[in-house]
Structure formats: C-alpha cells, structure tokens
Chain A
Amino acid sequence: MGNQHDETLQRYFDGELAPEERARFEAELTADDRERLAALDEMHALVAGALEGAAADVDLWGAIEGQVRAASLPAPGATSIKSAARRGRDRARGRRLFGTGAGLVLAAAATLLLFMYPRHPNHPTNGCDIESLEVAGAVATVIQVADEPHPGDGDTTIIWTEEDK
C-alpha cells in the first residue's frame, strides 16, 4: 500500500494522473505528502537548473582574430618594393597585433575562468566518492550539490535517506 502510494505520488508530481484522479489525490494529500512533493520539486530544480557559462557561446578568439587579420592585410594592388616593404612591415605589425591580441584573449579567458571557477587551494575540498550504499526500510539518494563557498572546487555529497512508511 505504501509503495502504491509512493508511486501515485511520483505520478502526481510528474503530471501523469488523469484530471479526476489528480483532483481526488490532491484532496487526500497529507502534510507528509506535501513535504515530499516539496523535496521532489527542489531536487528536480537542482538537476534541471545546472549552470552553463554563457561564455561558452561567445567566440572571443574568432572575433578578435578576424579583426586583427583585417587590420594586417596590405592594400590591394600594391606591387612596388616600397609596397612590398610596407606589406612586410604590416605583416610584422599584424603578427605583433595578432600575438598581442592572442595574449589578451588568453588573459581574458583565464580571468573569466578564474572568476567563474575560482580556485581555493588552501581550503579543504568535499570530494566524496560513494563506493557502496545499502539501505533497508528506506530509499537512498545520493545528491551532489555545488560547493557554494568555493564554486569550481567540486561538489558536496549528501546521502539522503527516506524511510518507508
């Protein structure tokens, strides 16, 4: 009976109950059921709301490289020695610009990474690997949450057990 109720609760949370069944179930919800639904909702948000860096979609390297190359191209149609020399100087300047630009891009990327994933080598990390987990009379869930004080240094593990009714 307990397992059937748990299954119905899960189906209710997933929106799989028919409207009549849903209404009937909602009328019979206990305080414990509401707590479990709240926990399910939070866990769902935790899984679904993983952060992705917006910078992954920004091609800084490509944009700066394109501009640097455009600035280093010699004028079209130039054939004289002076033009060739100028082209050489322009190419050299372009290489310096390109090198400088590349350095700036790398520095910016490194700064962005450090900002998003700061390293705190002097504080303990909460790395935890669950090697075995057995429960009786309960359901266990292993939850990994971001190490909020030190994002980027790994996750913190929570072994969540929910006792059977």
Chain B
Amino acid sequence: MRGSAVRQGRSVRWSMMIAVGAGLLAGGVARADNHLATCSVRMIDALHEPGGVDPRITVLRPYLEQPPFTAWKSFRLVEEKTFTIAHETTEKFTLPNGSQASLTFVEHMLRPDGKHRLRLRLEIEKRAQKVLDTTFVLDEGGVVLQAGQKHGKGLLVLGFSCAIPNG
C-alpha cells in the first residue's frame, strides 16, 4: 500500500514536471511567433533632370548617387508608408504608378551572434497580373531597394526596411 502511494506520488511529480516543461516550451514558441515587424516603405521618383536627393531620404543618398543610379539626377520622395505587420500576415499598399504591392512578414530569425533577421516576401501586381514575387532575408533595420518600374518620365525606386521593436 505504502509502496503504491509512493509510486503514485512519483507519477504525479513526473506528470507535473512534464506539464511545466511543456508549458515553458510552448510559451517560448509562442513568444517567437508573436513578433511584430515595423516596416517602412519609401517610394521614390528618380528623374533625369537635375535636382539632387530629397532631404527626406538622405539616408538613401549613398546608394542613389552611385551605379546603377547615376543616370538619374534627382530623387524625390513621393510617399512613405510605415506599418506594423504581425508574423505570417501581409500588408498591402498601392504604389504611385498604380501597381499593387504587398509585403509579408514570413519569419523572424535570431542568429547565434544575436543579429535579428526577417524573412519577407514582396509581391507586386500590375493590372491584376503578378510582375514580381521575391522572398528575401534582411537584417533588422537594414535596407533593400527595388527599382526599375516606370513612373511618368522617370523610374520608381522602393526602399524597404523592417525592425522588430520588441526583439
């Protein structure tokens, strides 16, 4: 009888330990999936006429003043959007040239060296036809540029940057 009670006691303790461990593990996974990404999209017109770089996009000047952009002499910020995307969700927005774009926060990754990276998917549709579909992994806070779409007399340049505020 006493031996049976002891075995039952051990069984209860093991069950509790497994339950606590599973809860901790589940909590850890849930924390990773709850990351929100704050992203900014700068939509820029590149024109051949002289005009320099819009002061509002000074942070992109080093990239816009070197190849392959040197044929364009002025860069004007047309619109800037900032939004927060939850994990595995998509933010849709309209580009100045009428195309529809969407940015999906696919995954958040933490490298062993502590650097945060985000896997993102960018899709652009023109007249209901998908013209660009790319998935990339970007350093948190880093910038990736997409350029080449026509807009008026110039070129459309998109600058994407995302961060994990609570990462």
A binds B: yes
Residue of A nearest to B163 (CB): A124
List 15 extra interface pairs beyond A134-B130, A158-B146, CB under 8 A: A38-B71, A42-B68, A43-B68, A46-B68, A124-B140, A127-B138, A136-B132, A137-B126, A145-B67, A148-B66, A156-B144, A157-B144, A159-B144, A159-B145, A160-B147
Q: Does A53 touch B at the CB level, under 8 Å?
A: no
Q: Does A59 touch B at the CB level, under 8 Å?
A: no
Q: Is the interface of A mostly helix, strand, loop or mixed?
A: strand
Q: Does B119 touch A at the CB level, under 8 Å?
A: yes
Judging by beta carbons under 8 Å apart, are B62 and A138 in contact? no
Judging by beta carbons under 8 Å apart, are B68 and A158 in contact? yes
Which residues of A are found within 8 Å of B135, using beta-carbon distances? 130-132
Q: Does B139 touch A at the CB level, under 8 Å?
A: yes
| Sample of 8 A–B contacts (CB below 8 Å) | A125-B139, A126-B144, A127-B138, A130-B135, A131-B135, A134-B134, A136-B130, A138-B132
Q: Give the B-binding residues of A (Cβ under 8 A).
A: 35, 38-39, 42-43, 45-46, 124-138, 140, 143, 145, 147-149, 156-163
Which residues of B are found within 8 Å of A157, using beta-carbon distances? 136, 144-145
Which residues of A are found within 8 Å of B143, using beta-carbon distances? 124, 126, 156
In-complex Cβ contact of B149 among A126, A134, A149, A161 (8 A): A161
Q: Give the A-binding residues of B (Cβ under 8 A).
A: 48, 62-63, 66-68, 70-71, 115, 117, 119, 126, 129-150, 161
CA distance A38 to B103 in the complex (A): 31
CA distance A161 to B99 in the complex (A): 14
CA distance A149 to B139 in the complex (A): 16
Which residues of A are found within 8 Å of B131, using beta-carbon distances? 135-138, 161, 163
In-complex Cβ contact of B68 among A125, A130, A149, A160 (8 A): A160
Which 3 pairs across A and B sit closest by C-beta, in order of nearness?
Answer: A124-B141, A42-B67, A148-B62
Judging by beta carbons under 8 Å apart, are B119 and A42 in contact? no
In-complex Cβ contact of A124 among B66, B132, B139 (8 A): B139
Which residues of A are found within 8 Å of B142, using beta-carbon distances? 124-128, 156
Judging by beta carbons under 8 Å apart, are B136 and A128 in contact? yes
Which residues of B are found within 8 Å of A161, using beta-carbon distances? 131-132, 146-149
Judging by beta carbons under 8 Å apart, are A158 and B132 in contact? no
CA distance A58 to B34 in the complex (A): 53
Judging by beta carbons under 8 Å apart, are A138 and B145 in contact? no
CA distance A131 to B126 in the complex (A): 22
Residue of A nearest to B142 (CB): A126
Judging by beta carbons under 8 Å apart, are B134 and A159 in contact? yes
B153 to chain A, nearest CB (A): 11
